[in-house]
Structure 1
């Protein structure tokens, strides 16, 4: 299998009301690229949140007592901490410079996924309200406009338990299943796989992150082409939920 990872250049800074599907098509044309069947588009969640107007003006946030207390412990601004609380189902752990929470979507991550990078001063972008719906709407428009069968992944940059550094992680998906259950297949020695499930949406998000970068690269959309398991995992009703481990199986949370 040979995979291409293509960063779309020339997409302008996103503002509320922008049609991401049209911006993607226009950027592709300018770059001499045509969408193909089985292309997978990975889109940074910040771009989606900004297009949907899901942006926090921190100066308008009124911190509560809990936020003020956590702010003292973490060194974070109380307005940001209050925003994290508001975007969370549960605050799981507070450290000297981090807050781990479960978001309203069920993701366990730092700062409820709220990002202060690549937005104007005083603003922050939380995770889109429903990344699966966002992905579905973008995919539907792309397919209607191009006649091609594609998948869309909304990605976020997140850390991982027990490891340093952040990677691209899938938080929304449309057009393909996020997990590839390979149980029943045989390994190189003929042994049957019993528990092997591959988080392909996260793998693809991490691959796209190599091109997106984390600073001033200005590439919020990446096309991944040549994924040979696309048809095997094609699923027009897929959601990100299969990637979220049920709380009853979370052996690290009290």
Structure 2
């Protein structure tokens, strides 16, 4: 495969209502079938009128920008000082919801296209129907990446090609079947186009030639295929936000036993996690002997049917009222630590005849 990345100079300033297809076709009469057209989302937004008026400077500008950001935000992922990483209504996770103040008048902000896939489809159709050239279209924008410094362009919308090249089920040269490999090829092509477009060169469109042997006859599923389903998202919150969410859950949740025998190592980790912060003399014991546990459980009032484990808690002696308050707090600490290990618990009175002060059914 031999790739060429070609700039499309001469687009000029784009304003609301401009005909992007005509502007691109005029600036690049050399476009060929099966080229990949990489278009900066900003000029798409400008043509579609996705701009808002704001004060040029001062606190009024900041307040107006915050209002716009709130409107474009579906969910806050992380916040550090003035920086907001949010999920947009499209599903993209981006700094400031992709709102941009560069290459635009100081009294305006540029929002992302309302539907980048639809924008890509419309531009492709206009070039095909009016200029008889059938290309794939990528609408691109700049994003940061977790764990990596620096920015790169990615695809927000695409038409005429698949967003992902799926290698699952293929066999590598060593005979290994590929299980997980799905390449976000439209992101790679968007990044390649950015090498030519740049940020200050006023070249908002690039052409990647030689990647496709043929565009799709239909538009395809679009870049929405790149948005990970929420149930598969392992990084849906920033670190501080996840910690705060966990603390809120610990304060309000009351998870009971789950019916599955707890991992003794996990229970030991939970007990060790609170060992240095509980009151002197407080002790927690995981009863692992089946026969001993059965004997103790038989004398516990209200033992849950789905509980499969037992932790005994002993308060320091002698016990006065402040000690009991502290012991209750220590029990809650342990329940939180168990919950962090995925182990639900229920607080119960101690077994009859035991020296324990309370027990946790797990």
Shorter-chain TM-score: what band?
0.7 to 0.9
Q: Displacement of 1:148 after TM fit?
A: 2.7
Give the Å deviation of 1:199: 0.2
Decide which of 210, 217, 240 is 1:226's aligned counterpart. 210
- The structure with the larger Rg is 2
The residue that corresponds to 1:252 in the other structure is 235
CA distance in 1, matches of 2:42, 2:169: 38
Query: 1:212-242: per-residue Cα shift (whole Å, max 9, x none)?
Result: 112x2001111110004655x6642322111
User: Which of 123, 135, 140 is residue 150 of structure 1 equivalent to?
Assistant: 135
Runs of 4+ with deviation above 6 angstroms: none
**Other structure's SS at 1:59 match:** coil
Task: Give, in angstroms, the shift of residue 251 of structure 1.
Answer: 1.4
Alignment-derived partner of residue 25 in structure 2 = 25
Alignment map for 1:110-189 (pairs within 5 Å): 110-189=95-174
> For the residues of structure 2 that align with 1:180 and 1:126, how far apart are their CA atoms?
29
Output one character per residue of 1:111-145: Cα deviation in whole Å (capped at 9) or x when no partner.
Answer: 00101111011211111111111111100011112
Specify whether residues 230 and 161 from structure 1 end up closer, same or farther in structure 2 by C-alpha distance, changes over 3 A only: farther
Q: Which runs of 5+ in 1 are unaligned?
A: 61-67
Matches within 5 A, 1:1-254: 1-29=1-29, 34-59=30-55, 77-214=62-199, 216-228=200-212, 230-231=214-215, 235-253=218-236, 254=242
Higher relative contact order (CA 8 A, sep 6+): 1
Which blocks of at least 5 consecutive residues in structure 2 are unaligned?
237-241, 243-362
Distance 1:110 1:229 in 2: 35
RMSD: 1.9
Q: 1:203 to 1:16 in 2, by over 3 A?
A: same
8 Å contact kept, 1:35–1:146: no
Q: Does the residue aligned with 1:176 lie in a helix, a strand or coil?
A: coil
Question: Structure 1 residue 149: deviation in Å?
Answer: 2.3
- Cα distance, 1:35 vs. partner? 1.5
Number of positions where the alignment pairs a residue of Structure 1 with one of Structure 2:
235
Per-residue deviation, 1:107: 0.5
1:238 and 1:20 mapped to 2: Cα distance? 22
Relative to the length of structure 2, the TM-score reads: 0.62
